[in-house]
Chains A and B, each alone.
Chain A
Amino acid sequence: MVEVGVSRTRHQDRVRPPVRSSYAMELAVHFRGAVSFLGRFPALTGVDLDVGPGEVVLLRGPNGAGKTTLLRCCAALVRVSAGEAVVLGHELVGASAEVRRSLRRRVGLLGHGAGLYDELTVADNVTFWARAGGADPVDAEAAMVQLGLDGRLRHLAVGRLSAGQRRRTSLAVMLARRPALWLLDEPHAGLDQTGRDVIDRLILDARAAGVTVLIASHELDRAEAVATRTVTLVGGSVLGAPPTPGSARSPIAAPVDRAQDEVVDRVP
């Protein structure tokens, strides 16, 4: 671990200049040798991934494989230290605050946390986040209807909701903002059968509407049914996905790989 930390400083000095290939810009997500650290831990150790517009990609892999970090990188919540990373035409390596903000407006993340204010009602939460994202309050209303939150639930404080109802509220927030890229981290977790069906239907609707979706999930049966493609992550990189011709693996990936192998060995 100490060696990795030392390497990190060296790696950060070698951050590549941003790339501007039209190929990368046309894709919804383009990662090549992307490296990301959580503190001193190399969470992504050279991810190669291309996702076209309108694709629904399932990210699978063991705990600690880097699925959540990859989603958070796509939302510009975690920095990509090296390699290439372009999301919805935004170059993330060395991205300015303005670029990150611009990307975040177009991305919806359903993460582990609900991202809701407990004391506010469902309607207050959905309306606030929708307006914060520049969405029309009408979209907030429509999202609540779509998620079955338009009845008595809309006036209930979020802190009094069940886990499933909170999840549905988070989803309504995401829907109301109409993002071009959905990042769903364990979307089925904590939901009952009906809730899971609602999620699947929403993903299929999004797919039909040309929205790009990345799903990190351990519920493979459900997620594979709605995905157009499955990608496996192990130890912070994509398994069995060689770089496309002409794009070299990040020069920093090799030393990190060695550290990562040691880390993966310890992952239960």
Chain B
Amino acid sequence: MFRDAALVAGKDLRLELRSRVGVAQVAPFALLMLILFAFALDPDRAVLQRATAGLYWVAVLFSALLAIQRAFAVESDEGVRDALRLSGLDPAGIFLGKVAAIAIQLLVLEVLLLGGVVVLYNAEPSGFALLVPTCLSATLGLAAAGCIYGVLAAGLRVKETILPLLLLPVLAPVLIAATQAFEAALGGATGEGWRWLGLLLVFAAAYVALGFGTFGLLLEES
């Protein structure tokens, strides 16, 4: 399974490097969102600073949608889905590989966006002991849930539009918990943040477990 996961993750990352969709489209889109939020809230700088954590994770969330959609669009091209099913790869390995590839892309994006909120919103990153695990667990949760709904949507005719509709409500807990933990970390009062981190970890664990159990079925039947 881990061999299959490494193979799939390597292939997905190579696809990303070759196509440069992440660099040329997803990252600029995410930064553009931060800039637009700044334009919209600039007259009231205090509101912008208070909303930094929420705006950061909204930008991550919408960018993640693009990355997830892209990750499964390449598997929907002519005959690739059949080839994937015929390959003999362990479905759990495929799931794990795709989660890993999406998570790596999102983590790079989160670092970039962190720079964005520092420059645009005057945020002062602190509480790294909470910040780092928050980003890791939220990213894992986003990627795992995204893969489950991504493969489900990829089998549908309306895959381009259905994924956000399916995924965004599911990811609401990640948005809330990550925002709260991030805010606590930025504010230096990490006490409350650890509870939210716990929720993120539970969410990530639940969706990783669900993915292990259902990805093969979804790949087969959807």
Check B85 for interface membership: any CB of A closer than 8 A.
yes
Contacting A at CB under 8 A, from B78-137, are 78-80, 82-83, 85-89, 91
Query: B88–A134 contact, CB under 8 A?
Result: yes
Q: Is A150's beta carbon under 8 Å from chain B?
A: no
Cβ of A107 under 8 Å from chain B: yes
Complex Cα spacing A77 to B19, Å: 29
A31 within 8 A of B: no
Minimum Cβ distance to chain A for residue B178 (Å): 31
Which of B7, B14, B78, B91 is close to A114, meaning CB atoms less than 8 Å apart? Answer: B78
List of B residues within 8 angstroms of A101 by Cβ? 88
Contacts A109-B82, A113-B79, A115-B82 hold; do A120 and B18 have CB atoms under 8 A apart?
Answer: yes
Option from B15, B79, B87, B217 in Cβ contact (under 8 Å) with A119:
B15
A108-143 interface (Cβ within 8 A of B) = 108-109, 111-120, 124, 128-129, 131-134
B77 touches A118 (CB 8 A): yes
Q: In whole angstroms, what is the CA distance A132 to B18 when docked?
A: 20
Question: Is there contact, CB below 8 Å, between B11 and A120?
Answer: yes
Residue of A112, A124, A133 near B79 (CB, 8 A) is A112
Pick from B15, B19, B78: contact of A115, CB below 8 A. Answer: B78
Q: What's the dominant secondary structure at chain B's contact region?
A: helix
**Which residues of chain B (1-25) have a CB below 8 Å from chain A?**
4, 7, 11, 14-15, 18-19
Q: Does A249 make an interface contact (CB < 8 A)?
A: no
Q: How far is the CA of A120 from the CA of B87 in the complex (A)?
A: 17
Instruction: With CB as the reference atom, state the residue of chain A lying closest to B88.
Output: A105
How many contacts A-B (CB < 8 Å)? Answer: 71
Cβ–Cβ contact B79 & A114, under 8 A: yes
Q: Taking A117-B74, A120-B15, A120-B18 as contacts, is the C-beta distance between A132 and B87 under 8 angstroms?
A: yes
- A98's nearest neighbour on chain B, judged by CB, is B216
Among the listed A111, A119, A157, which residue makes an inter-chain contact with B82, where contact means beta carbons less than 8 Å apart?
A: A111
Is B83's CB under 8 angstroms from A124's CB?
Answer: no
Say if the beta carbon of B192 comes within 8 Å of chain A: no
Distance between Cα atoms of A157 and B14 in the complex (Å):
12
**For the complex, what is the distance from the CA of A18 to the CA of B152, rounded to whole Å?**
30
Q: Which residues of B contact A117 (CB under 8 A)?
A: 11, 15, 74, 77, 80
B18 x A157 contact (CB < 8 A): yes
Q: B77's closest neighbor in chain A, by CB?
A: A118
Interface size on A, residues (CB 8 A): 30
Contacting residues of chain A (146-167) with chain B, CB-CB under 8 angstroms? 157
> Known: A118-B77, A132-B87. Contact between A77 and B15, CB under 8 A?
no
User: Does A75 touch B at the CB level, under 8 Å?
Assistant: yes
A115 to B15, CA, bound (A): 15
Question: Which residues of B have CB within 8 Å of A77?
Answer: 82, 85-86
Residue B160, interface by CB 8 Å: no
Q: Which one of B4, B11, B86 contacts A104 once the chains associate, using CB atoms below 8 Å?
A: B86
Closest to B86 in A: A104
Once the chains bind, are B79 and A132 in contact (CB under 8 Å)?
A: no
CB neighbours of B4 from chain A (8 A): 132
Contact with A along B192-222 (1 / 0, CB 8 A): 0000000000000000000000001100100
In the complex, chain A residues whose CB is within 8 Å of the CB of B88: 101, 104-105, 132-134
Say whether B83 contacts A115, CB under 8 Å.
Answer: yes
Per-position binary interface string of chain A over residues 94-110, scored 1 when its CB falls under 8 Å from any chain B CB and 0 otherwise:
00010011001101110
Residue in B4, B83, B91 whose Cβ sees the most chain A Cβ within 10 Å: B83
Quick one: which of A116, A128, A132 has the most chain B CB within 10 A?
A132
Please report A residues at the B interface, Cβ cutoff 8 Å. 75, 77, 97, 100-101, 104-105, 107-109, 111-120, 124, 128-129, 131-134, 157, 170, 173
Q: B residues engaging A (CB < 8 A)?
A: 4, 7, 11, 14-15, 18-19, 74, 77-80, 82-83, 85-89, 91, 216-217, 220
6 A-B pairs besides A97-B217, A117-B74, A173-B83 with CB distance below 8 A are A104-B88, A107-B86, A116-B83, A119-B15, A119-B19, A120-B14
Selected A-B contacts with CB under 8 Å, 12 pairs: A104-B88, A113-B77, A113-B82, A114-B78, A116-B79, A116-B83, A117-B74, A117-B77, A119-B19, A120-B14, A120-B15, A132-B88
